[in-house]
């Protein structure tokens, strides 16, 4: 706890520091920064009028945190658990049910879904997106299926990138540090009449773990292969056709040359030092048109196509046969979406829209067939906001959806916001949501075959599943305490799941495993297990006592209970208590300092994860900005996890150690 006390001491000194940076924040400054969000109902709303709890991670928070990987930013949101797993993937959980796949979130980048329909995974590490191009991240803390449909189940994470007009000129940034961390990002933005454009290139290198890890048998150090080099390019162009109309286009491509563990695990003398290679290619094209008639009436049309390809060849000699374990997967998505917002009356607004989406996946290993699996879904949604009284705001909405697996579903929500006195709002809301089975949960047939086609082992078999269903109740509060320059957002929640999808053993028929012996063998299968309940509360607080000083902090307490028949590990899949604090201070003469503290109680990651002990992580950042020949230069030094090493996701190999990196950026 010494690092925590040291950071708190530094923060205290900053907050009570010299008059050199003790200027007061004006009331106008405080009120002008009340976040306005779009991700809850697709209507522009200040956070105190939104029908659900929402956290906004802005550019200042991103910079102060020192994080360079997008999933890490979710440590700034109450109730979220974040961990690097292996094979270049991240685990993210909210209020429990946390595993290596973020299966119960809807994650969007500029309205484009990056939720993977094959396994439910969010491929954070291969997004064609630089963290330097993020304008803000809006996190809806709770189900939001009435706006974004199935899989907007526990939360919605909407990443909004910078428009081309926001980044004129050139920008370059370089990072280098311990644990194989290195990065280079360049961006150029320009204008030609009514056309604004930007182009970004980034190369990132990582080595996630310590060089060696220890296994029980034998007790010897072995190398962990998680070294990656990833290249991305993306571009955006916005063209104003008239005062009302604008067309925009975006594209992005990511390629990566990755190592993903060893060919044999646990290691053996023949394969211990042979890494398993992964080549990834992720690309998208997005085109949109928007017409803004006035501040309350607009409509837009968006089309995008995305393709994700993983190439991970692997062959091993087992039972005298050469077994093919190529983890090749191709996923594609094509979407056409219409959205509109309309002022129906002086006190009544509506946002509505529709979407058609086609999704497909292909993988010989995971589905035991060469042909694609695909499906079409269609959606129609509407959200209404009715100000029935200056103190009362009534909101309701619903998503009507037809999914290729679950058929027709409807996900309604109703909320009422009451402001008994200015600056203080109480919110009551109830909503439902569905999570449809992924392609793998429903139709997965995970079979290892020899090069001659013989089935060597069956790992997973198909199932007939119902979608997971959730009923959520929430009491929320948003308050502004002007004399103290303090903003508070708190909520109590009670979520009830039905038809939770878990994995259970499946006894294979005799003779299925034709090579491994006479025993029938055992595979896994997804089934609807039963009911899960999550109860608790959380709050987030923002304090700006003086100009250049900002403190954000959050806390969450969660209790998970299950009915008989549900995996017992689910109860421990959320830390009972978690909290975080991020404080930043302008020290004057171009110097800024920030510190972050992040704590999680013990928890158990589901699936391939392990029980992990409680940890407290401390990060600090010191930076200086100056002008050089008319250009803006910033140099920063970041220390991460200044306390003891901690385990994340896997207790034996995933140890996050103390590390330092430096960065320099130049804008001109």
Average pLDDT, integer, range 329-356: 97
- Tokens linked to 457: 């082992």
Contacts with 50 (C-beta within 8 Å, 6 or more apart), sequence order: 37, 40, 41
For the cut 70, the answer to whether the pLDDT of residue 364 exceeds it is yes
Domain count, the chain: 1
Distance, in Å, from the CA atom of 390 to the CA atom of 49, rounded to the nearest integer, reads 12
* Pairing of β 105-109 and β 155-161: parallel
Residue 340 in contact with residue 352, Cβ under 8 Å? yes
pLDDT value, residue 223: 66
Residue 138 in contact with residue 106, Cβ under 8 Å? no
Task: Tell me which residue of 437, 386, 383 sits closest to 409, measured CA to CA.
Answer: 437
Contacts with 433 (C-beta within 8 Å, 6 or more apart), sequence order: 143, 144, 145, 150, 152, 153, 411, 469, 470, 472
Dihedrals phi, psi of 477, to nearest 5 degrees: -145, 135
Task: Tell me which residue of 40, 48, 44 sits closest to 417, measured CA to CA.
Answer: 48
Contacts with 238 (C-beta within 8 Å, 6 or more apart), sequence order: 163, 164, 165, 195, 196, 197, 246, 247, 248
pLDDT value, residue 21: 37
For the cut 90, the answer to whether the pLDDT of residue 242 exceeds it is yes
With bands split at pLDDT 50, 70 and 90, how would you rate the model's confidence at 585? very high
pLDDT value, residue 233: 97
Share of the chain above pLDDT 90, in %: 71
Q: What mean pLDDT value characterizes the chain?
A: 89
Average pLDDT, integer, range 497-523: 73
Classify 53 as helix, strand or coil. coil
CA atoms within 13 A on the CB side of 460: 19
Average pLDDT, integer, range 567-592: 95
Q: What is the pLDDT of residues 375-399, one digit of tens each?
A: 999 999 999 999 999 999 999 999 9
For the cut 60, the answer to whether the pLDDT of residue 271 exceeds it is no
- Tokens linked to 297: 């009436």
pTM: 0.92
Distance, in Å, from the CA atom of 49 to the CA atom of 428, rounded to the nearest integer, reads 11
- Name residue, tokens 């320059």: 485
Query: Which position has the higher pLDDT, 332 or 653?
Result: 332
Residue 432 in contact with residue 143, Cβ under 8 Å? yes
For the cut 50, the answer to whether the pLDDT of residue 543 exceeds it is yes
Query: Which position has the higher pLDDT, 87 or 526?
Result: 526
pLDDT value, residue 27: 43
Task: Tell me which residue of 274, 188, 279 sits closest to 230, measured CA to CA.
Answer: 279
State the CATH number of the domain containing residue 140: 2.40.170.20
Q: What is the pLDDT of residues 333-344, one digit of tens each?
A: 999 999 999 999
Q: What is the pLDDT of residues 424-437, one digit of tens each?
A: 999 999 999 999 99
Determine whether 188 is exposed, middle or buried from the number of CB atoms within 10 Å of its CB (0-12, 13-18, 19+): middle
For the cut 70, the answer to whether the pLDDT of residue 511 exceeds it is no
Average pLDDT, integer, range 612-623: 97
With bands split at pLDDT 50, 70 and 90, how would you rate the model's confidence at 10? very low
Distance, in Å, from the CA atom of 4 to the CA atom of 218, rounded to the nearest integer, reads 37
**Cα 1 to Cα 7, 15, 597, 643, distances in angstroms:** 10, 21, 11, 8
Q: What is the pLDDT of residues 25-43, one digit of tens each?
A: 444 444 456 789 999 999 9
Q: What is the pLDDT of residues 139-156, one digit of tens each?
A: 999 999 999 998 899 999
For the cut 50, the answer to whether the pLDDT of residue 7 exceeds it is no
Long-range (24+ apart) CB contacts under 8 A made by 18-23 are: 20/588, 21/546, 21/547, 21/548, 21/549, 21/585, 21/586, 21/587, 21/588, 22/546, 23/546, 23/547, 23/548
Degrees (nearest 5) of the Cα angle 128, 131, 133? 80
With bands split at pLDDT 50, 70 and 90, how would you rate the model's confidence at 263? low
Q: 178's torsion region: left (phi>0), alpha (psi -120 to 50) or beta?
A: beta
First to last CA, the chain: 43
With bands split at pLDDT 50, 70 and 90, how would you rate the model's confidence at 13? very low
Task: Tell me which residue of 367, 334, 337, 333 sits closest to 352, measured CA to CA.
Answer: 337
Classify 548 as helix, strand or coil. coil
pLDDT value, residue 123: 86
Beta bridge partners of 348: 345, 386
pLDDT value, residue 210: 59
Beta bridge partners of 273: none
Dihedrals phi, psi of 482, to nearest 5 degrees: -60, -45
Classify 372 as helix, strand or coil. coil
Spell out a b/e string for 25-37, using b for 16 or more CB atoms within 10 Å of the CB, else e: beeeebeeeebeb
Average pLDDT, integer, range 244-263: 88
Q: What is the pLDDT of residues 591-616, one digit of tens each?
A: 999 999 999 999 999 988 889 999 99
Task: Tell me which residue of 586, 511, 603 sits closest to 544, measured CA to CA.
Answer: 586
Q: What is the pLDDT of residues 298-325, one digit of tens each?
A: 999 999 999 999 998 888 777 677 888 8
Residue span of the structural domain in which 36 resides: 2-667
Average pLDDT, integer, range 483-489: 95
**Cα 412 to Cα 407, 475, 499, distances in angstroms:** 17, 17, 19
């Amino acid at each position: 706890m010494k690092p925590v006390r040291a950071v708190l001491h530094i923060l205290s000194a900053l907050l009570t520091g010299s008059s050199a940076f003790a200027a007061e924040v004006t009331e106008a400054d405080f009120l002008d920064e009340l976040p306005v969000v779009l991700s809850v109902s697709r209507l522009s709303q200040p956070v105190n009028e939104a029908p659900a709890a929402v956290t906004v991670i802005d550019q200042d928070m991103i910079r102060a945190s020192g994080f360079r990987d997008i999933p890490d930013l979710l440590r700034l949101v109450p109730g979220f658990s974040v961990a690097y797993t292996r094979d270049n993937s991240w685990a993210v959980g909210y209020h429990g049910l946390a595993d290596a796949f973020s299966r119960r979130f809807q994650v969007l980048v500029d309205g484009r879904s990056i939720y993977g329909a094959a396994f439910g995974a969010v491929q954070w590490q291969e997004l064609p997106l630089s963290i330097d191009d993020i304008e803000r991240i809006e996190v809806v803390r709770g189900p939001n299926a009435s706006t974004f449909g199935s899989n907007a189940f526990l939360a919605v994470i909407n990443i909004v990138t910078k428009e081309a007009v926001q980044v004129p000129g050139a920008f370059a940034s370089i990072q280098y540090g311990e644990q194989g961390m290195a990065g280079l990002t360049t961006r150029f933005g320009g204008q030609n009449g009514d056309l604004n454009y930007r182009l970004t290139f980034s190369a990132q290198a990582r080595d996630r773990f310590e060089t060696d890890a220890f296994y029980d048998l034998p007790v010897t150090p072995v190398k962990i292969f998680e070294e990656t080099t990833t290249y991305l390019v993306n571009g955006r162009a916005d063209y104003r056709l008239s005062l009302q109309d604008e067309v925009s286009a975006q594209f992005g491509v990511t390629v990566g040359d990755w190592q993903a563990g060893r060919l044999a695990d646990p290691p053996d003398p023949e394969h211990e030092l042979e890494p398993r290679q992964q080549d990834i290619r992720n690309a998208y094209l997005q085109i949109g048109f928007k017409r803004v008639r006035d501040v309350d009436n607009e409509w837009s049309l968006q089309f995008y196509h995305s393709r994700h390809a993983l190439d991970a060849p692997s062959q091993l000699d087992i039972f005298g046969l050469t077994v093919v374990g190529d983890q090749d997967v191709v996923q594609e998505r094509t979407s056409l979406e219409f959205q509109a917002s309309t002022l129906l009356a002086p006190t009544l607004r509506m946002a509505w829209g529709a979407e058609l989406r086609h999704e497909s996946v292909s993988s010989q290993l995971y589905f035991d067939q060469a042909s694609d699996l695909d499906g079409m879904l269609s959606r129609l949604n509407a959200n209404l906001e009715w100000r029935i009284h200056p103190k009362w705001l009534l909101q309701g909405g619903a998503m009507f959806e037809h999914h290729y697996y679950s058929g027709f579903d409807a996900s309604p929500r109703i909320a009422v916001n009451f402001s008994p006195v200015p600056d203080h709002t109480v919110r009551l809301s109830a909503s439902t949501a569905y999570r449809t089975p992924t392609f793998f949960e429903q139709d997965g047939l995970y079979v290892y075959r020899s090069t001659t086609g013989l089935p060597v082992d069956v790992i997973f078999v198909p199932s007939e599943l119902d979608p997971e269903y959730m009923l959520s109740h929430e009491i929320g509060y948003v308050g502004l305490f002007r004399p103290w320059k303090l903003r508070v957002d708190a909520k109590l929640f009670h979520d009830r799941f039905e038809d939770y999808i878990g994995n259970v053993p499946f006894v294979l028929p005799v003779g299925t495993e034709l090579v491994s012996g006479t025993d029938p063998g055992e595979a896994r299968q997804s089934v609807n297990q039963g009911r899960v309940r999550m109860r608790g509360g959380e709050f987030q607080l923002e304090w700006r006592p003086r100009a250049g000083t900002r403190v954000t902090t959050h806390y969450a307490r969660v209790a998970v209970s299950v009915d008989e028949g549900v995996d017992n590990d689910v109860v421990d899949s959320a830390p009972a208590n978690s909290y975080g604090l991020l404080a930043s201070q302008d020290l004057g003469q171009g110097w800024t300092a920030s510190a972050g503290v992040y704590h999680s109680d013990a928890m158990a990651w589901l699936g391939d994860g392990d029980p992990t002990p409680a940890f407290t992580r401390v990060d600090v950042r010191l930076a200086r900005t100056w002008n050089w020949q008319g250009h803006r230069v910033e140099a920063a030094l970041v220390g991460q996890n200044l306390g003891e090493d901690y385990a994340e996701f896997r207790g034996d190999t995933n140890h996050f150690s103390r590390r330092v990196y430096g960065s320099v950026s130049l804008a001109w």
